């Protein structure tokens, strides 16, 4: 995982962000920062999470239809 550096748009403090995160908070002023472009790791994690949720829903629907 790559760590990137940027400045907080609120307090101008230098902050480090982990690649893979698109939303985080400045540890100095607490401002919520949302990056415009998501990393590939973040997109892949969100896709995987959606797949897991869909699989659970399908299993519940199947179990309900059998009962």
Give the total number of structural domains in the chain: 1
d(CA 67, CA 60): 11
In the chain (67 residues long), the average pLDDT of successive 10-residue segments reads 75 81 85 75 73 88 84
Structural domain of 49? 3-66
The contacts found for 26-35 with CB under 8 angstroms, 24 or more apart, are: 33/8, 33/9
Look at residue 2 in the predicted model and tell me its pLDDT.
61
Look at residue 37 in the predicted model and tell me its pLDDT.
66
């Amino acid at each position: 995982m790559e760590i990137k550096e940027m400045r907080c748009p609120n307090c101008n403090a230098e902050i480090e962000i982990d690649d893979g995160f698109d939303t985080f908070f400045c540890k100095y002023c607490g401002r919520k920062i949302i990056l415009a472009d998501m990393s590939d790791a973040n997109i892949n994690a969100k896709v995987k999470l959606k797949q897991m949720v869909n699989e659970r829903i399908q299993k519940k629907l199947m179990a309900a239809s059998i009962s």
